[in-house]
Amino acid sequence: MNSRRQVRCNGCKQWNFTEDTQGQCLHCGNELFPKSKADEESLLRRQQAWNLNIVIHPDDSLLVRMVKKVANVVQLVFLAIISFIMWLIAMSPG
């Protein structure tokens, strides 16, 4: 049941024994399983989506904080509606 396998390092071309799908070369510290470009892009896009949220600073006045919170909620509802429409389109036949 042991899924130990050999992975060749891209950096120093040495073989490494590893059990998981992430790790570094024992010989040179090189990343054994470099992330694919698509993975990095989707991660970046997700991070950018989160960055859309308005940051509430602790030194904002109560009114500013309330306005920002409302804006965040409106944005969240808007995104929910958009994804619901996208889902409807995806589920519709044809």
Nearer to Zn ion, 14 or 53 (CB): 14
If DSSP codes are grouped into helix, strand and coil, which group holds residue 62?
Answer: helix
User: What minimum distance in Å lies between the beta carbon of 51 and Zn ion?
Assistant: 35
CB of 29 vs Zn ion, minimal distance in Å: 7
- Which one, 13 or 46, has the nearer CB to Zn ion? 13
In this structure, are residues 5 and 11 in contact, taking their beta carbons and an 8 Å threshold?
A: no
Give the residue with the Cβ less far from Zn ion, 20 or 60: 20
Could you list the residues that contact Zn ion (CB under 5 A)?
A: 9, 11-12, 25, 27-28, 30
Query: Residues 42-71, buried b or exposed e (16+ Cβ, 10 A)?
Result: eeeeeeeeeeeeeeeeeeeeeeeeeebeee
